[in-house]
A and B are shown apart, each in its own frame.
Chain A
Amino acid sequence: MDINSNFPEKTADFIEDAPFEFEEIKPESRGSIISVRNLSKSYGSKKVLDGVSFDLERGHIIGLLGPNGSGKTSLIKIFTGLINDYSGEVLIDGHKPGVITKAKVAYLPEKTYLASYMTVDDSINYIADFYDDFDKKKAMKMVDVFQLPHKQKVKTMSKGQQEKIQLLLVMCRNAEIYILDEPMGGVDPAARDFILQAILQNRPEGSTILMSTHLIHDIEPVLDSIIMIGHGALLKQDTTANLTAKGQTINEIFKEVFRNDWEF
């Protein structure tokens, strides 16, 4: 067992008490689309990421897993350039998060982010203005496929319709990396299936998808690899093939890793 000596006491205790062994995670930089070295991020005195290092392989569908407050969204915000006050090094396709990487990354936040005045067509025109890789024709076709009203304001739509338009705006980009924060959160099982299919069918060949979610069971079959973070540390990273080789599902492994968080 190899534990980073820089871990805070709480994290070290957690790892010591864990009912399984932690693997030593050695970052590999070859073929990685995202490279993270000694990444730390604090909010006041609370450290959400503490010296985390890892690489994400190009072309994979990667599940970013962890309990609430584990730093998933902070990590995503760092990757998408929304948070810049962190220590350590983050490289997206060889570049620090900034204007260049923002043009490469298609980001679906957990929140509804479109302006209140925007109709479906307005939002498509807006994204088309800023992203050279946005396929406007495909977007217009998908509006019809998704049965969305072109002229209706997004803010007056149902939650499901809002999810669809936001997903459409992201998946109609021919991006190198898709970062999706809880893309299936708050929708019914049928909608979850629809969203997942939309992601898989519209993903350009060779692109990387990093998807954070609590709904592990739904996405498990499509994941190439996973990364689990919690207590400020990287707790597990491997391909799903390796992790499930002993017959365990990712869902079961997740429960095992984070069991201590919910024990009385």
Chain B
Amino acid sequence: MTGNSDKPRNKMGMLLKNDFLASSRVISLIYIVEIIAFVFFMIIKDRGNNRLLALGLILNFAIPFLLVFVSLFFVIYDFNKSLYSQQGYLTYSLPVTAKQLLGSKMIVYGLWMFVSYAVALFVWGYLASYAEGNENVKMADVALTLFGMPSIAHIKVYLFYYVIMFFIITFSFISIIYFAITASHMRTFQNANFISAVIIFFICSIIMFAFIAIVDKNIFISFLVYDDGPTKLVIGKKDLADGVSLPMSPIFYLIIQDIALFFVTSAIMKKRINIK
């Protein structure tokens, strides 16, 4: 307790710590495997042993898939297990709010997902550039092709934009997963919660993509980055000859959607869930 107040200390830091520790026990093992595979590839790539080279290429192509898959699996598994299995008796009786419980899991697993994507893209990008012949020069070209960037001059701006976009989409994806799992544990769906969660997830995803398409087509908000430095947020579409025009309305829509889902999910967690 703090001073004379009845209010307990904020335990968000402890939630983050324990969610990270719980998830890292398994996820970090896959990262260690990927590091070993990548180091192996770096050692054997110039040795002229084609069998080892092929093995290195296959491992470094396959393990990032595993990385993303394991991270995604844990996003779902840990959330469901820690909140809606018998472990929920422990989790829900902690002196924290439903928003903190949800927020901690979103932050920890959002970051794991994001890092897994980033590592996968880096490794695959490196393999692609290696296959092209000279990884030091071709990495930039691979990135240009991968992200559809028009020129080297704008690579930083586009890279930053796509990283932010990717980050937000990752959180949106997790928001929908967590909403679907939580809603499926309401009394109405409790007898068929797995199927309910899948159906709710797909309905929410379809709605999300439909809204993104509508927003992208009808509401134009652009972020202008001029080559000589200044930036500007404008309503409407604008093509720039001396800079980059980035569409912002899908990003704003996703942020609003994520905030709405966060509040709805935490309200369901607080008011409508009965741990069995």
Contact = CB atoms under 8 A, between A and B. Distances in A.
B146 interface: no
Interface stretch (B62-70, B119-127, B267-275): B267-275
B17 A99 contact: no
A152 to B, nearest CB: 16
A115 interface: yes
17 contacts: A82-B89, A85-B271, A93-B6, A99-B95, A99-B96, A100-B6, A103-B8, A103-B95, A105-B93, A109-B93, A113-B90, A117-B22, A126-B18, A130-B14, A130-B95, A130-B96, A132-B1
Helix, strand, loop or mixed for chain B's interface?
loop
Interface of A: 43-44, 77, 80-85, 93, 95, 98-100, 102-105, 107, 109, 111-117, 126, 129-132
Interface in B1-25: 1, 6-9, 11, 14, 17-18, 22, 25
Interface in B80-108: 81-82, 86-90, 92-97
Helix, strand, loop or mixed for chain A's interface?
loop
B237 interface: no
Nearest to B8: A103
Interface residues of B, number: 30
Contacts, number: 79
A128 to B, nearest CB: 9
B95 A111 contact: no
Nearest to A110: B89
A111 B86 contact: yes
Interface string B248-271: 000000000000000000000011
A131 B96 CA distance: 11
A14 to B, nearest CB: 25
B233 to A, nearest CB: 38
Contact of B86 (A44, A104, A112, A117): A112
B154 to A, nearest CB: 46
Q: Choose among B14, B17, B90, B274 the residue with the greatest number of A CB atoms under 10 Å from its CB.
A: B90
A131 B18 contact: no
